[in-house]
Chains A and B, each alone.
Chain A
Amino acid sequence: MSKELSFEVAIKRLEEIVKELENGDIEIEKALTIFEEGMRLAKLCAQKLAHVERRIEILKKGEKDEDVLELFQGLDEE
Chain B
Amino acid sequence: MIDNTPNIPYPNPMLIEKVAEQRTIYSVSEITRNIKSLLQGEYPAVWVRGEVSNFKKAASGHIYFTLKDEKAVIRAVLFRGHQQGMKFALEDGMNVIVHGGVDVFEKRGEYQIIIDFLEPEGIGALQLAFEQLKEKLSKEGLFDDAHKKPIPSFPDTVGVITSPTGAALRDIMNVMGRRYRGVHIIIYPVLVQGEGAAEEIAAAILNANVRGETDVLIVGRGGGSIEDLWPFNEEKVARAIFESEIPVISAVGHEIDFTISDFVADLRAPTPSAAAELVVKNREELLRWSRDLFLRLKNSIRRILDQKKQRASYHTADVLFRMMQTILHEKTFTLDDVTKTMLNSIETIGNGKKARFERIVGQLDALSPLKTLARGYALVRKLPEDVPLVSIAQVNIGDETKTRLRDGELFSTVQRKEKTDTQGE
Contacts and interface: CB of A to CB of B under 8 A. Distances in A.
A51 B303 CA distance: 33
Interface string B333-353: 000011001101100000000
Contacts of B404: 29
A54 B365 CA distance: 30
Contact of A29 (B187, B207, B307, B379): B379
8 contacts: A7-B286, A11-B286, A24-B304, A28-B388, A42-B290, A46-B338, A56-B185, A57-B184
A14 B297 contact: yes
| Size band of the interface chain B makes with A | 35 or more
Secondary structure type dominating chain B contacts: helix
B188 interface: yes
Given A52-B344, A67-B211, 17 more contacts: A8-B152, A17-B297, A22-B299, A31-B304, A31-B369, A36-B368, A36-B370, A39-B368, A49-B286, A50-B344, A52-B181, A53-B182, A56-B185, A57-B186, A58-B186, A59-B186, A67-B207
Q: Report the 6 A-B pairs with minimum CB-CB distance, sorted nearest first.
A: A21-B300, A49-B345, A50-B341, A50-B345, A58-B187, A46-B342
A48 B308 CA distance: 35
A52 B170 contact: no
B189 interface: yes
A11 to B, nearest CB: 7
A56 B293 contact: no
Contacts of B41: none
B165 A21 contact: no
B99 interface: no
Secondary structure type dominating chain A contacts: helix
B182 A29 contact: no
A48 B379 contact: no
Given A24-B307, A32-B370, A56 B173 contact: yes
Given A43-B337, A50-B341, A35 B297 contact: yes
Interface of B: 152-154, 156-157, 164-165, 169-170, 173, 176-177, 181-189, 207, 211-213, 215, 283, 286-287, 289-290, 293-294, 296-297, 299-301, 303-305, 307-308, 317, 337-338, 341-342, 344-345, 364-365, 368-370, 379, 381, 387-388, 404
A18 B308 CA distance: 18
Interface of A: 1, 6-8, 11, 14-15, 17-18, 21-22, 24, 26-29, 31-32, 35-36, 38-39, 42-43, 45-60, 67, 69, 72, 75-76
B173 A75 contact: yes
A59 B187 contact: yes
Contacts of A46: 290, 338, 341-342, 345
Nearest to B369: A32
A59 B186 CA distance: 7
B297 A18 contact: yes
A20 B374 CA distance: 24
Contacts of B303: 22, 24
